[in-house]
Chain A
Amino acid sequence: EAGVAQSPRYKIIEKRQSVAFWCNPISGHATLYWYQQILGQGPKLLIQFQNNGVVDDSQLPKDRFSAERLKGVDSTLKIQPAKLEDSAVYLCASSTPRGTSYNEQFFGPGTRLTVL
């Protein structure tokens, strides 16, 4: 079974530029998550989708971050404009729908963003 795919793996941009990350979850997984992991800290949820609807975006800085999950499959996370403090690893995860017996979140390899 293929895992969660993310691209690019690395990205370096200058502040005030825009950037986009892509995630393709495990086939059939209805729930998709984007986490931000700043160096030395644990991952923090930015946004959670159930199919193509948003379940939780309470910690998403909506003035600069946006995310979409068209057709309930893959997803894009965008930052515009980027700030220095956005330097982090952006992790995508997916899981099976609520009501199933096993709801493990499977993580992708992450995209490491450096903002100069």
Chain B
Amino acid sequence: GDSVTQMEGPVTLSEEAFLTINCTYTATGYPSLFWYVQYPGEGLQLLLKATKADDKGSNKGFEATYRKETTSFHLEKGSVQVSDSAVYFCALSRQGGSEKLVFGKGTKLTVNP
């Protein structure tokens, strides 16, 4: 079945450091790919998404590119802030998001000032 594997955490960075969180997937066909973020005490929020190969999703300085050849969707940010401290989940869905989301285990990011 479909699955998502993402980098084990926790990840601790200093403010303004470069962030990469790796995500790879296994799925038949061409799923849509997502990054969700869960800030402390809050619900899951969509951070960015990509629906086809070579698409780049971006939001709040975060980016991820849908790489079909490597079945990857790595999350990057050039300069993290303390406010980016959260748990990040990579996910896929078969039908653009209306079908169930299959999530990775999550990566906890802590950014220190």
Interface residues of B in 54-97 (CB under 8 A from A): 89, 91, 95-97
Which candidate, A14-22, A65-73, A78-86, A104-112, is the interface stretch facing chain B? A104-112
- Chain A: which residue is nearest B104 at the CB level? A42
Enumerate chain A residues within 8 angstroms of B44, measured Cβ to Cβ: 43, 91, 93, 107
Are the CB atoms of B45 and A105 closer together than 8 Å? Answer: no
- Chain A: which residue is nearest B49 at the CB level? A104
Question: Chain A interface mostly helix, strand, loop or mixed?
Answer: loop
Are the CB atoms of A44 and B46 closer together than 8 Å? Answer: no
Question: Chain B interface mostly helix, strand, loop or mixed?
Answer: loop
Scoring A residues 15 to 52 as 1 if CB is less than 8 Å from chain B, else 0, what string do you get? Answer: 00000000000000001010100001111110010000
How far is A41 from B38 in the complex, measured between Cα atoms in Å?
13
Scoring B residues 33 to 60 as 1 if CB is less than 8 Å from chain A, else 0, what string do you get? Answer: 0001000001111100100000000000
Are the CB atoms of B103 and A44 closer together than 8 Å? Answer: yes
Are the CB atoms of B96 and A103 closer together than 8 Å? Answer: yes
Are the CB atoms of A48 and B100 closer together than 8 Å? Answer: yes
Enumerate chain B residues within 8 angstroms of A87, measured Cβ to Cβ: none
Interface presence of B31 (CB below 8 A):
no
Given A98-B98, A103-B98, decide whether A42 and B43 contact each other with a Cβ distance below 8 A.
no
Question: Could you pull out 21 A-B pairs where Cβ atoms are within 8 angstroms?
Answer: A33-B100, A40-B105, A42-B4, A42-B89, A42-B103, A42-B104, A42-B105, A43-B89, A43-B101, A43-B103, A44-B103, A91-B44, A96-B98, A103-B95, A104-B46, A107-B36, A107-B44, A107-B45, A108-B43, A109-B42, A109-B43
**Footprint of B on A, CB under 8 Å?**
3-4, 31, 33, 35, 40-45, 48, 56, 91, 93, 95-98, 103-105, 107-110
**Footprint of A on B, CB under 8 Å?**
4, 36, 42-46, 49, 89, 91, 95-106
